[in-house]
Structures are given as C-alpha cells and as structure tokens.
Copies of this chain bind each other. A is one copy, B any other.
C-alpha cells in the first residue's frame, strides 16, 4: 500500500469526458490498494475567462477579490471530480483550500504556503476516501482566499505530497514526460526515465514548461518523488529524483531554450568603480529580473560596455530606469528582442571537463555567433541570435549524443 498524490492540469480536466478519464486513472490506483489524494486545476479556459473578467471589472484590481473570483475555477473541478468518482462507486470528497486548511501568507495572487494541516484529510485517506483538493488556492490569516500564482497547482500537489508524507507525487499533464529537448524542434528527442531535481529545476526555469519551477524546488527541499506523465497515454513518465538514485549519470541530460528574453547593451559606460552596482541596483529596485551579464572593458580602460538580459516585457521599463538614473553615464542603449538563450544541462558536468568546449565548437561549426555566456555548476547557457534556435538546439542534441533511434 502506498499513499500517492495525483495532480491533473487544466487540459486533463477540460470537460466531463476528460474528468471521467481522470477518474478512471484514479480508480486504477485505488484498485491497486493505494491511498489517493488528487489535486486538480481549473477546467482549461476557465481561469483565462475569470482573469479576463477581473481585468475588465477593474484594471488595477484588488488581489484579494482576484483570488476570490479565480479560485472558483478549481472549486468547480474538485466537486465535479469527486462526483464522478462517487458515480464510479469510489468514496470521494472535495476539499477547498480553506477547508483543508491550506494556510498561506497574505500575498494575494502569489501567496507562499505556510502550513498544511492534513489531520482531517489523513483520517479520510485511512478510510480509503479519495481526497480531491482544489489546487492553486489557500487561505490567509484574515480568512480570505489566496492563490499561489499561475501554474500554482503543481506547487499545491507537491506541498500536499510533502505534508501527507506521500510515497509519490504524479503530475499528469499533456506531454509524456521530460524530454532531452523540445520534440517539436528535434524529432529525435528522447523521453528521460529519470532526471535529478537540479536538472529539472534548470529545465523548468529555462522554458521547458513541464513543471512549474517552484514546485520542483519544493520537491527537492522536501524529498518528494515526483513523476511527470501524460494523462492521455499509458506510457511511463519521467521520475524526478535525488541525484544518488540515478546510477548512470549522463554528462548532459538535456538542451533547453528560452526565447522570452531580450538583450540590452549599454555602450560607452564610464568605467568607474562600482558602476555595475549603479546599473543593476535601480533595476532590482524596479523589480526587473536580470539574468545573464557580461562587461567588456575598452582598450584604454576608460569606457566599458555592459550587456545583460531581461524578460522581453521589461525592456521598455528597464531602458527608462537606466535613462532616468542620474549616476549611470553611457553613450547609448541598444536593445534586441531577437535573441534566444540555449542551455545544456546535466549533473554529470560536475565531473566532466570539456562540456563547454564541445558546446562552443559545435556552435562555431555551424557559424553561430555567441553573444553572451553564463555558466552554473550543472548548466552552460549561451545567448545567440534567435534565427539560429532550431539549428543550434539540433546540433547540440546530436553533439552530446542525445539523439534517439
């Protein structure tokens, strides 16, 4: 007997036929003798409609009311799934965030989980009742509904799995698992059987939209075994686990790309001590997330060029902040949206030399110019012109021996 948490996203519960499909998957786990808690998202499209209404009602909206309206989506699905399960003869009940209670701080719209009291739910699980929890929502100390931010249902599921000491947290989605890269670009991409938390974290934050980054970090912190799998096929998915569970480590596990960043270059900056701080402090205060950074000194050492990347939506705001900052003198500001960040990721990198050299050589062989480089322990990222996206990803996928049959 295991205790498992199963999470189903919006496309998996898009209509009643799909909810019945979900119920059949739940039934299989129940029939296998498992205790099952299920976390559901809103039916696909519902959240967008509710958010649209909120924005139309009040462009500058009160986040507490936003949460009240939007949380209704998951509320509906949780009740409908409980009913569908009951109709199949499986004891089930729904739990809204405030009923669990799933306690969060009061940062409405992007609340952080404080404490999940699973006393009542554990009792029901022991009675073999399937507990269907509305994802994405919680309750703050002021007794008002909070939401965890878009994609928060993954985080709800992992947090619930941790709180329930579940043996596994299965995240059902519309893809079959985590791939070595985007199969739409590289037909030879392979599904990974296992991936480490650290790798998944890099993959998630780099645009492989399989799992929400925050949920991966939480799974890593609490040691929750997460499985990503499809709710539409019966093939096994990808297990996200601790590094020591993976016997044969790949040097490189996957290639990720993110095309939602923009490059900003400040040309001819006065090269004075502390200039980097002068540039990046006001951006941080403006809540702009700066990612890759390089600084090139001019020959005489008097001027420097500073290049960095920001989310594309923040380019105008960042430019304005820098132009208004009195203590940053530069000749001109150049921004470019036509860039892509390509990353090779793998925990095996730690013990293998030459991974970076392979990347640079492969790109050079294809005539692709690298604009910025950034590295971490298990990742090397480069910024290149976005028109090379597919070419670069495919070449790297082959170079690191990731191509499947």
A residues within 8 Å of B by Cβ?
16, 19, 50, 53-54, 56-62, 64-66, 68-69, 71-73, 75-76, 78-80, 82-84, 86-87, 93-94, 96, 98-99, 143-145
Of all A-B residue pairs in the complex, the 9 with the closest CB atoms, nearest first, are: A69-B79, A58-B87, A68-B79, A58-B83, A72-B72, A57-B83, A65-B79, A57-B84, A65-B83
Residues on B with beta carbons closer than 8 Å to the beta carbon of A73: 72
CB contact between A79 and one of B59, B66, B96 (< 8 Å): that residue: B66
Pair A78/B68 contact, Cβ less than 8 Å? yes
> In the complex, are the beta carbons of A58 and B86 less than 8 A apart?
yes
What number of copies of this chain does the assembly contain? 2
Residues of chain B with a CB closer than 8 A to A72's CB: 72-73, 75-76
Q: Verify B54–A79 contact, CB threshold 8 A.
A: yes
Contact of B82 with A62 in the complex, beta carbons under 8 Å: yes
User: Contact: B83 with A62, CB < 8 Å?
Assistant: yes
Instruction: Give bound CA distance, A83 to B57, whole Å.
Output: 6
CA A83 – CA B64 in complex, angstroms? 10
Q: A86-B58, A86-B62 are contacts. A80–B53 as well, Cβ < 8 Å? A: yes
Whose C-beta in chain B lies nearest to the C-beta of A101? B143
5 contacts between A and B (CB under 8 A): A57-B84, A57-B87, A62-B82, A66-B79, A66-B83
Among the listed B59, B79, B86, B144, which residue makes an inter-chain contact with A87, where contact means beta carbons less than 8 Å apart? B59
Residues of B within 8 A of A82 (CB): 62, 65, 68
* Complex Cα–Cα for A57 and B94 (A): 14
Cβ–Cβ contact A68 & B57, under 8 A: no
Known: A58-B86, A72-B76. A65 touches B94 (CB 8 A): yes
A57 to chain B, nearest CB (A): 4
In the complex, A220→B82 CA distance in Å? 40
**Shortest distance in angstroms between A180's beta carbon and chain B's nearest beta carbon?**
39
Task: Check A64 against B93 for contact (C-beta < 8 Å).
Answer: yes
Docked pose: A64 CA to B59 CA in angstroms: 35
When distances are taken between beta carbons in the complex, the residues of chain B under 8 Å from A75 are 68-69, 71-72, 75
Query: Please, which residues of chain B bring their CB within 8 A of the CB of A62?
Result: 82-83, 86, 93
> Please, how many angstroms separate the alpha-carbon atoms of A19 and B56 in the complex?
11
Given the complex of chains A and B, what is the CA–CA distance between A87 and B53 in angstroms?
13
Would you call A65 and B93 a contact (CB within 8 A)? yes
Given the interface pairs A68-B94, A69-B76, A72-B72, the reply to whether A83 lies near B61 with Cβ below 8 Å is yes
Q: A77 CB to closest chain B CB, in angstroms? A: 9
Chain B residue numbers with a CB within 8 Å of A61 are 83, 86
Contact partners of A79 in chain B: CB under 8 A:
54, 65-66, 68-69
16 further A-B pairs in the complex, CB-CB below 8 A; given A65-B82, A65-B93: A16-B57, A54-B79, A54-B80, A57-B87, A58-B84, A58-B87, A59-B87, A61-B86, A62-B82, A62-B83, A66-B79, A69-B80, A72-B72, A72-B76, A96-B145, A99-B144
Provide the residues of chain B in CB contact with A65, threshold 8 Å.
79-80, 82-83, 86, 93-94
Closest to A69 in B: B79
The docked-state distance in angstroms from the alpha carbon of A84 to that of B145 is 19
Which of chain B's residues have a CB closer than 8 A to the CB of A66?
Answer: 79, 83
Question: A56, B86: Cβ atoms under 8 Å?
Answer: no
By beta carbon, the residue of chain B nearest A96 is B68
Q: A73 to B19, alpha carbons, bound, how many Å?
A: 20
